[in-house]
Amino acid sequence: MDTTQLLKGVLDLAVLAALRDGDGYGYDILRRLRAAGLQDVGDASVYGTLRRLFANGFLNTYVVPSDEGPHRKYYALNAAGRAELDRTGKTWRDFASTMDDLLQDRGTV
């Protein structure tokens, strides 16, 4: 199964979940997603998702200066983002449960 289409549908949720335990900058969030098993996620997709989530009011941003390169823009979940994570997480768990039920081998023909 091509996971690319599945990933497009859940990338907002994945990014919100990646930020649940701590703030992060773009490449850091990308590494978190890949470390969690989403190796097919693209750089541009993550950066676009971060911009969209910020524009929708789910993230706050701040800049941290760096002595070794460009300043880094960090993203942080705010109250609206945590509520969205809870809401969409429940939707995902309900959907996944339904799919698990459908895929159960019941031994009938």
Residuewise pLDDT in 10s, the chain (109 residues): 677 777 778 999 999 999 999 999 999 999 999 999 999 899 999 999 999 999 999 999 999 998 888 899 999 999 999 999 999 999 999 999 999 999 997 665 5
CATH code, 85: 1.10.10.10
Please report which helix (H) or strand (E) contains residue 18, including its range.
helix 3-18
- Whether 108 is covered by a domain: the verdict is no
Beta bridge partners of 62: 74
Rg of the Cα trace of the chain?
A: 16
Range of the domain at 94: 3-101
Whether 107 is covered by a domain: the verdict is no
pTM of the predicted model as reported, rounded to 2 decimal places: 0.87
Q: Number of structural domains, the chain?
A: 1
Estimate to the nearest angstrom the gap between the alpha carbon of 37 and the chain centroid.
Answer: 12
**Residue 109 in domain:** no
- C-alpha atoms less than 13 angstroms from C-alpha of 91 in its C-beta half-sphere: 10
